[in-house]
Structure 1
Amino acid sequence: MTQEPIFLQPVCKEKIWGGTLLRERFGYDIPSDTTGECWAISAHPNGLSTVKSGPHKGKTLMELWDRHRELFGGIEGDRFPLLTKMLDAKQDMSIKVHPDDYDAEEHENGETGKSECWYIIDCKENAEIIYGHTARSKAELVTMINSGDWEGLLRRVKIKPGDFYYVPSGTIHAICAGTLVLETQQNSDAAYRIYDYGRTDRNGSQRDLHLRKAINAATVPHVDGFIDESTESRKGATIKTFVQGEYFSVYKWDISGTAELTQDAPFMLCSVIEGSGILSYEETSRKLEKGAHFILPDQMPDFTINGECTLIVSHI
């Protein structure tokens, strides 16, 4: 049986720092005007994508992983390894750090660690991210946190649309106001909040901090995530490699015209962030619209994409 692309219905979530761009830019049905996250390709119990059409319509991605491992090249493991999100940070996100696999296994009740990466879809002028810190030792990190010297501690980096950042576990980080991001990450929801600007939730309570776990998980001194970018041009497509790492490889496909493409990984996660096109294989065609998310399964036949569109693509 010919394998076919698996199109998924995302799950959108309210966040104290969220806005309305996920509806305005991508047409998603958002729960409120403070919607921060779209869990686009997710087999995590905190936000399960469901299949939109085809033989598996209505099943969750977790069900597919559990019952149809042949779609994913038969690779082993009890959880789907990756998670694709879109983030609309209308306000500054809280400053966090994620544990590595070892820490998560010890403290997080079955979660894996969480390394992630960000593709900046769009941002306001002079937008920033917080990426790393200045402390030279854990003792200095503790002192600076306890004294509230956030200006001295946090490294701020100016960003622009099209930038890419690899954020390994242990990196103190935050996306700041006015930024729209596609995030590729390990399939984990483990995060330790260090600082939240003293914000309160709708009940007037300050959000929990997890300082002891955060300080334990933080990489000190800070080390930038390694990126080895390269670009390949071929008929109808420019393919940019951002990272080929331990947990994921991430690419940008810029399609202009007709591109002939091959799915040669156990499976690929694809998100259309701009434009539209037609994906064709054998006798079948599927429309690709901005905001669509789909998986190219194992044994997917060679295919073409015709149109003007940009996709972020990842695989293990």
Structure 2
Amino acid sequence: MYNEPIFLEPVLQERIWGGNKLSTEFGYQTPYEHTGEAWVISAHPNGPSKIKNGPLEGNTLQDAWEKHGKLFNRAGAASESYPLLVKILDANENLSVQVHPDDSYAQEKEDVPYGKTECWYVLDAEEGAELILGHHAKNRKELQKAMENGEWDSLLKRVPVTAGDFVYVPSGTIHAIGAGIVILETQQSSDITYRVYDYNRTDVNGNPRDLHLKQAAEVTNIPHEAPKEEIVQETIEDLTIRKLVEEAYFTVYHWDLRGNAILERKGDFLQVSVIKGKAEIVIDNKTFPLEKGVHFIIPNTIKDFSLQGNAEMIVSHT
């Protein structure tokens, strides 16, 4: 039986808007001047994480998903793609204004298994930082007209954020992460983005970056409705658990550990990202150290475990 966490190596991604906080704040070896994303729990073909320990060391998470289904409560080989993707994003500059399709549109138009519903936990935000979340258009004709005329100031809704804020972003929501924000993103395992506006930036070759106004107009939710958030909190020994969101694709928690706790695994498997502090996880009398920037999966073969230390984590499952 597989009786240890599956620790994962982040995959670093270059982005025009990226900075250096993935190196300075998390200690990752960033290969680019503008490193915007660390795909920290990923089985997506555009950046699969490698396993760092145990019998599957050196394999990718995708390998494990396809060949070792019991770890994820799957019988035999996987007929579906790994469902989730966890990232840390460092927005040194504004990200493009964008929108993602739902499953049915992504499958029909892009021939990929998943659309993209996502959520953000704000790890850091400079004073005055803000997100774009939603729009003011009353119907699709009004949305298309505002896009074509570049009426961005009147069209887009802006939201100030600070560290510790949580934002749920269903597919079809126009959005953008603003400059000076670092987030941990939990999302469906999809890399489909329709760019709406990009501040007239150019790529490394001096060419304007592509926009996808037709697709964006087709998939955007109209009118925009802010999701209703109901955060539920419970305490297990010295662990405070805040359930940030529970919906069709994922459930996401914030764990605040201040001592010791014994827990049972929830979901078919559990994804864990340490965002602050140090701790240990103990499984079958084996102890594994945890610290900020460590990401791992508790597989289905592990039913219970204990934690000890002082740390904060973002935890998710399907």
Partner of residue 140 from structure 2, selected from 138, 141, 150: 138
- Give, in whole Å, the separation in 1 of the partners of 2:2 and 2:52: 18
Q: Does 1:180 align with 2:190?
A: no
1:235, distance to aligned residue in structure 2 (A):
1.4
In the alignment, structure 1 segments of 5+ residues that lack a partner are none
Aligned twin of 1:11: 11
Specify the code of the residue in structure 2 equivalent to 1:87.
Answer: L
> Which 10-residue stretch deviates more, 5-14 or 223-232?
223-232
Contact 1:130 1:156 in 2 (8 A): yes
After superposition, where does 1:209-224 map in structure 2 within 5 Å?
209-224=211-226
Q: Deviations over 1:244-300 (max 9, x none)?
A: 100000001100111111113100110000011111122200000110000000031
1:201, distance to aligned residue in structure 2 (A):
1.1
Aligned twin of 2:86: 84
Partner of residue 308 from structure 2, selected from 285, 288, 306: 306
Aligned twin of 1:68: 68
Q: Does 1:194 align with 2:199?
A: no
Q: Deviations over 1:175-227 (max 9, x none)?
A: 00000000000001011000000001111011000110010010011022232
Q: How many residues align?
A: 316
Aligned twin of 1:24: 24
TM-score (norm 1): 0.98
- Give, in whole Å, the separation in 2 of the partners of 1:227 and 1:111: 27
- Give, in whole Å, the separation in 2 of the partners of 1:64 and 1:185: 20
1:303, distance to aligned residue in structure 2 (A):
1.2
Aligned twin of 1:40: 40
- Give, in whole Å, the separation in 2 of the partners of 1:111 and 1:302: 32
The CA RMSD measured in Å over matched residues stands at: 1.0
After superposition, where does 1:185-264 map in structure 2 within 5 Å?
185-264=187-266
Q: Deviations over 1:74-97 (max 9, x none)?
A: 176420000000000010000000
- Give, in whole Å, the separation in 2 of the partners of 1:271 and 1:290: 8
Specify the code of the residue in structure 2 equivalent to 1:178.
Answer: G
Identity of aligned residues (%): 48
TM-score (norm 2): 0.97
1:99, distance to aligned residue in structure 2 (A):
0.3
- Give, in whole Å, the separation in 2 of the partners of 1:48 and 1:145: 35
Specify the code of the residue in structure 2 equivalent to 1:313.
Answer: V
Contact 2:256 2:312 in 1 (8 A): yes
Contact 2:102 2:171 in 1 (8 A): yes
Specify the code of the residue in structure 1 equivalent to 2:36.
Answer: G
